[in-house]
Amino acid sequence: MAEADPPFRQEDTRATYDTVARRYADEIADELNDKPFDRDFLDRFAVRMAGQGHVVELGAGPGHVAAYLAARGVDVSALDLSSAMVDEAKRLFPELQAVVGDMLDLPYANGSLAGVVAFYSIIHFDDEQLACAFDEMTRVLRTGGYAALAFHVGDKAIHREQWWDMPVVLDSRFVPVDLVTRLLEKSGLEVISVEEREPYAPEVEYQSRRAYIVAREPLDV
Ligand SMILES: C[S@@+](CC[C@H](N)C(=O)[O-])C[C@H]1O[C@@H](n2cnc3c(N)ncnc32)[C@H](O)[C@@H]1O
């Protein structure tokens, strides 16, 4: 992105999600009920990952995606930058292990995870942070491990100072699909699939085109 674009400050992102955590959980945690494509994508990922080892949802928010995977046999835990979000995940899904952590400096050993999932959590990163997040995924995934990503497609940034009537400071972005695939490959992951869909109805979700990518730590590196 250009230099004039937003700073994507981690401390602002953390403070924002700490502020909105309860409302975000109230509004979003049951969203999969109305999103058949997302359920199908996660069902397919669950078939791939069940019994394969530990998976972590990165930037899990209230943990509903991790909980959905857990219900389908995946050994999964949740990580988020915001401690209030982690508290929401624990409140809503007491069985789910959830920890505070940073996708740019993951608290996992090299090659220790079978999979990572990042649903709408790469949208608060500039290009350099994106590259760092993908390097971290690559580092913690074992050989043959999988990453599943979902994000808003496009090439614009959104600066928000209010969210559900609460004062916040949050920079988000729509991300070009080719930027994501290029940076994933630069990090050493092999892109397995790229799917896109139009948004569901305005009462279901924010009106943006969505991308869903699966990538894998190559077997022969
Ligand atoms: C748009 S929400 C998505 C939450 C959830 N994955 C979902 O699909 O509803 C973005 C989440 O990413 C988290 N996040 C942002 N930057 C992060 C980072 N560097 N490390 C870990 N989590 C981060 C935020 O705290 C927030 O919970």
Per-residue pLDDT tens over the stretch 210-220: 999 999 999 87
Task: Verify whether ligand 1 is closer than 6 Å to residue 163 (CB atom).
Answer: no
Q: Are 162 and 130 in contact (CB under 8 A)?
A: no
| Over residues 5-9, mean pLDDT | 84
115 touches ligand 1 (CB under 6 Å): no
pLDDT single digits (tens) 107-140: 999 999 999 999 999 999 999 999 999 999 999 9
Nearest-CA residue for atom 1 of ligand 1: 120
Q: How far is the CA of 48 from the centre of ligand 1 (A)?
A: 23
**What is the per-residue pLDDT for 4?**
55
Pocket lining: 56 vs ligand 1, CB cutoff 6 Å: no
Atom of ligand 1 nearest to the CA of 118: 6
pLDDT digits (tens, 9 = 90+) for 134-177: 999 999 999 999 999 999 999 999 999 999 999 999 999 999 99
pLDDT at 3: 46
pLDDT bin (cut points 50, 70, 90) of residue 7 is confident
Confidence of residue 26 (pLDDT cuts 50, 70, 90): very high
Q: Where are the domains of the chain?
A: 10-216
From CA 47, how far away is CA 217, in angstroms rounded? 18
- High-pLDDT (> 70) share of the chain, %: 97
Per-residue pLDDT at 221: 53
Q: If you take atom 13 of ligand 1, which residue's CA is the nearest one? A: 59
**Mean per-residue pLDDT of the chain:** 96
The response to whether residue 99 sits with its C-beta less than 6 Å from ligand 1 reads no
Q: Strand, coil or helix: what is 99?
A: strand
- Using a 10 angstrom Cβ sphere, with 0-12 exposed, 13-18 middle and 19 or more buried, the burial of residue 214 is buried
Q: Which CATH entry fits the domain spanning 10-216: 3.40.50.720, 3.40.50.150, 3.40.50.11540, 3.40.50.300? A: 3.40.50.150
Angle between helices 127-140 and 177-187 in degrees, nearest 10: 40
- Convert the pLDDT of each residue in 27-55 to its tens digit: 999 999 999 999 999 999 999 999 999 99
What is the chain's Cα-based Rg? 16
